[in-house]
Amino acid sequence: MGNVLFYTHNKEDLKRIVKMVVEEIRKTEHINDSEINIKEDRLSQREAAAFLGISITSIISWKKQGKVPYYQIGRSIFFSKSELLKIARRNRETLISKRK
């Protein structure tokens, strides 16, 4: 066993330490929640096309024309589900005519 250290703290010191630990845990939980939300929001080109009910060729064309925002990490291309949903709501007529 290692060396055992004993510290003496008063009640206020312990409260302050516990408060700092709780704040650090909350920060970590907040970061982890936002990481999960980001991963759930991310769609591949195929998933984005299926989500909008259009062909993969159309989503690629729209991406090149700047009609839909996308993100690129290396060679991988991703779309934000929430951003696509906003675009779909604004442009319902375009999406309906593409589906026919």
Q: Give mean pLDDT, residues 73-79.
A: 90
Name the CATH topology of 44-99.
Arc Repressor Mutant, subunit A (1.10.10)
The two three-digit tokens of residue 14, written as one number: 């312990």
Q: Give mean pLDDT, residues 41-68.
A: 92
Per-residue pLDDT reduced to its tens digit, 26-51: 666 655 555 546 667 899 999 999 98
% of the chain residues with pLDDT over 70: 72
Average pLDDT in the chain: 79
Q: Give mean pLDDT, residues 56-68.
A: 93
The two three-digit tokens of residue 72, written as one number: 């690129």
How far the first Cα of the chain sits from its last, in Å, is 74
**Is 91 in a helix, a strand, or coil?**
coil
Residue 38's CB is within 10 A of a number of other CB atoms, namely 10
What's this model's pTM, rounded to 2 decimal places? Answer: 0.55
